[in-house]
Amino acid sequence: MTGTALSAELPSLLSITPVIRDAYAIILEFERSAQNAKTLIYARILGYLMLEGPSDQARVAIAREVISCAGKGALETNGKMYYDHYLRAFKRTKGHTPIPSSHVSRPSFDTCKAMIFDMLVEAPQAHQDAKKNALIRDGSCCVVTGNYERSMVENNQELEKMADDEGKGLIVTNCAHIFAESTNLNISGDQKGGIRHHHAASMWAVMDRFGYSQIPFDLNGSNIHRLENILTLDLWFEPTGTPNTYKLEAPVTFTTQDTEKLPLPSPEYLKIHAACARVAHLSGTGEHIDKISSELEDHNVLSEDGASADALEHALFPWSQQIQVF
């Protein structure tokens, strides 16, 4: 439940940087002194961000924050900030993407070219449009398994033949946002300056600190649906060193017929997401969030003995006050 213990030694490439070396020693002591599971998770979040962070700038920024913390209380607050505004920001929500359009209203096509001409949206403003363009870019397939989107095949004779020739199955794909679609929701108009607005600002502030100052502007508003932030599944990828190629159980190469109109997923966004997934797994954060989510689903009444405190805090987080960003 509390993840994997931090290594007693830094990798050689990190240990040569004094600020990282000094900060890691503080984190190890913080981990050793943790009195409860949550504090242990926060300590390991800081430690694994140092080890697995998405960039050197991120590691140095975290190291400086750790060194500036006056005591274990401040360290715990810092770890919780990354729990709330980095790791939780990438935790996917449940449910499938709606099929791009109904089977009844969609016309049938003899060729893929005709279907693309009908479906292509110049600048996606909504989830549905983003999925349409992603499916066009990805050849109507899951980019990992190669299985075909059912709604596309059933309305296209050419795709139906291709799926049959390749022996691929028909599935309902998900339109997965690398940076969550919900990040910028409910932050304007009457809700500007509200809790959701502060949460989004805190998450983007973390990205800025990690050296990705342009991302909040690139994904502002409906730009969260830009194809660089979209793929047709909800998995994370490890870079392989080859451009646009990532490792799952086998290398996955993204392709597109038009880099201008149908750009590939951003390697930078995927790198940030992959680092988040590694830190969440190793620190125990992912398991902790899954456990709490299950408790919320299984129990409608809070325990009188306080055992539901973590679940209550988790449920109330979207309405809580923003956490200080160091």
Arithmetic mean of pLDDT, 22-45:
96
- Give the model's confidence band at 98: pLDDT under 50 very low, under 70 low, under 90 confident, else very high: very low
Report the range of poorest mean pLDDT among 25-29, 180-184, 277-281, 299-303.
299-303
Do residues 171 and 142 make contact, with C-beta atoms less than 8 angstroms apart? yes
Q: Which two tokens stand for residue 310?
A: 């973590």
Pick from 9, 11, 90, 24: nearest CA to 62: 24
Residue with tokens 């080859």: 242
DSSP code of 301?
S
Q: Which two tokens stand for residue 223?
A: 């730009």
What's this model's pTM, rounded to 2 decimal places? 0.77
More confident residue, 309 or 75: 75
More confident residue, 118 or 94: 118
More confident residue, 287 or 167: 167
More confident residue, 26 or 183: 26
Among the ranges 59-68, 121-130, 195-204, which has the highest mean pLDDT value? 59-68
Residue-wise pLDDT for 247-301, tens only, equals 665 678 899 988 998 999 999 999 999 999 999 999 998 888 777 766 655 555 5
Residue with tokens 């990992």: 144
- Give the model's confidence band at 95: pLDDT under 50 very low, under 70 low, under 90 confident, else very high: very low
Do residues 163 and 152 make contact, with C-beta atoms less than 8 angstroms apart? no
Which H or E element spans position 21?
helix 18-33
Arithmetic mean of pLDDT, 65-85:
94
DSSP code of 183?
G
Arithmetic mean of pLDDT, 198-220:
87
Q: DSSP letter string over 233-262? A: SS---EE-SSTTEEESSSEEE---S-TTTS
How do 238-239 and 245-247 pair as beta strands?
Answer: antiparallel
Give percent above pLDDT 90 in the chain: 40
Helical spans, DSSP H, in 90-225: 112-119, 127-137, 150-153, 157-166, 195-209, 215-218
Residue-wise pLDDT for 217-255, tens only, equals 898 888 899 999 998 874 556 667 777 677 665 678 899
Domain chopping of the chain, boundaries: 12-92+277-319, 112-173+230-262
CA–CA dist 164, 304 (Å, integer): 57
- Give the model's confidence band at 113: pLDDT under 50 very low, under 70 low, under 90 confident, else very high: low
CA–CA dist 167, 181 (Å, integer): 33
Supply the pLDDT for residue 322: 40
* Average pLDDT for the chain: 79
Residue type, 102: S
The strand pairing partners of 96, in sequence order, are none
Beta strand extents in the chain (DSSP E only): 148-149, 170-171, 176-177, 230-231, 238-239, 245-247, 251-253
